């Protein structure tokens, strides 16, 4: 990797008003805000070509550029972890991220990350996101499985990132929810910001200075009593957006520890919920799912080099399929 990384981006309307150091910290989460503030103070960042202070408030349409020295943390250690490659060419790769895999190293999760697997598998990846995020263009939560894009060069990384910023990328998720969605199809338009009491959660927060507009479309696929399969398309990309919006609609994602209040479901619990029969001891002990039932199923984008529209799909993972199979079995038996 190069000693200095040049990062360039355009401020969107939703980002207007943020302090420059805060804006950069949101764009470059491999670097701490304190580190980025020092970069700005050292005159290594410009807005529309002008050197400014960390407290400068960015406005829509402005161009932010920064020369980034390596962050204090080293890059991920390469690890020989199998990867499910959905698509690959000379410009980028699409990986089917398994559930329970952290995307990049962070406190408490230094090994077994997607970044470590990528560092082992690929010789050349972009370093726009910093050394701890080789090639990684966007995010998926640890417990969320599915399609994630990885760029092989800085040029392709910036072109892909621009598509996300311009919202020309179409993302489709598959979810199992617990509760009751009143409508079979709806668009949820509710701003999302930090939870007022719990630091690791987000919440619907209109009027809060850190809240951002968020829009999610969903469509019910099938209902099994309190459990529903749902197709979800987020238009924006806020932290925990789908999880917060579905909770707001009355049906949090199944096994979502933060928003549903439970982290796993056994076959026995499923039977109690769905068919009200007493399970066997073996059924009570059989864990069907131990992470949030959210899967990034499909992504549609313009190829960053050719401009051709392409679609990449990840099959439903085994753990979510186990729950569906159990629901279908009990439905047929009933």
- Token readout for 272 is 């109690």
Residue 203 Cα distances to 148, 173, 239, 266, 292, angstroms: 25, 20, 10, 28, 17
| Cβ density class 22-55: b for 16+ within 10 Å, e for less | bbbbebbbbbebebbbebbeeebbbbeeeebebe
Out of 21, 127, 141, 143, pick the active-site residue.
141
Strand partners, 296: 146, 173
| Cβ density class 104-123: b for 16+ within 10 Å, e for less | bbeeeeeeebbbbbbbebbe
Q: What is the dihedral of CA 92, 96, 102, 106, to 10 degrees?
A: 0
Q: Is 74 among the catalytic positions? A: no
Provide the annotated active-site residues.
Answer: 141
């Amino acid at each position: 990797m190069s000693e200095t990384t040049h990062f360039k981006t355009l401020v969107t309307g939703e980002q207007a008003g943020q302090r420059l150091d805060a804006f950069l910290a949101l764009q470059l989460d491999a670097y701490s805000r304190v580190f980025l503030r020092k970069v700005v103070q050292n005159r290594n960042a410009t807005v529309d070509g002008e050197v400014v202070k960390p407290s400068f408030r960015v406005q829509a349409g402005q161009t932010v550029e920064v020369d980034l020295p390596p962050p204090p943390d080293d890059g991920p250690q390469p690890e020989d972890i199998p990867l499910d490659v959905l698509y690959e060419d000379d410009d980028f790769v699409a990986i089917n991220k398994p559930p329970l895999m952290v995307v990049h190293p962070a406190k408490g999760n230094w090994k077994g990350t997607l970044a470590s697997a990528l560092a082992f598998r690929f010789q050349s990846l972009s370093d726009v996101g910093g050394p701890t995020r080789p090639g990684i263009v966007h995010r998926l939560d640890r417990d969320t499985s599915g399609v994630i894009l990885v760029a092989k060069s800085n040029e392709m990384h910036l072109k892909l990132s621009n598509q996300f910023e311009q919202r020309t990328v179409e993302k489709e998720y598959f979810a199992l929810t617990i509760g009751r969605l009143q409508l079979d199809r709806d668009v949820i338009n509710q701003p999302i910001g930090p939870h007022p009491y719990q630091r690791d959660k987000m919440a619907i927060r209109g009027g809060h200075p850190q809240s951002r507009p968020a829009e999610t479309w969903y469509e019910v696929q099938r209902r099994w009593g309190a459990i529903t399969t749902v197709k979800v398309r987020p238009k924006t990309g806020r932290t925990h957006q789908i999880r917060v919006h579905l909770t707001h609609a009355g049906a949090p994602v199944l096994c979502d520890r933060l928003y549903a209040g439970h982290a796993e479901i056994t076959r026995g619990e499923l039977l109690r919920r769905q068919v009200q029969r007493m399970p066997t001891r073996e059924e009570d002990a059989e864990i069907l799912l131990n992470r949030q039932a959210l899967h990034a199923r499909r992504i549609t984008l313009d190829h960053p080099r050719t401009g051709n529209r392409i679609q990449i799909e990840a099959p439903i993972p085994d753990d979510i399929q186990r729950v569906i199979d159990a629901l279908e079995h009990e439905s047929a038996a009933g």
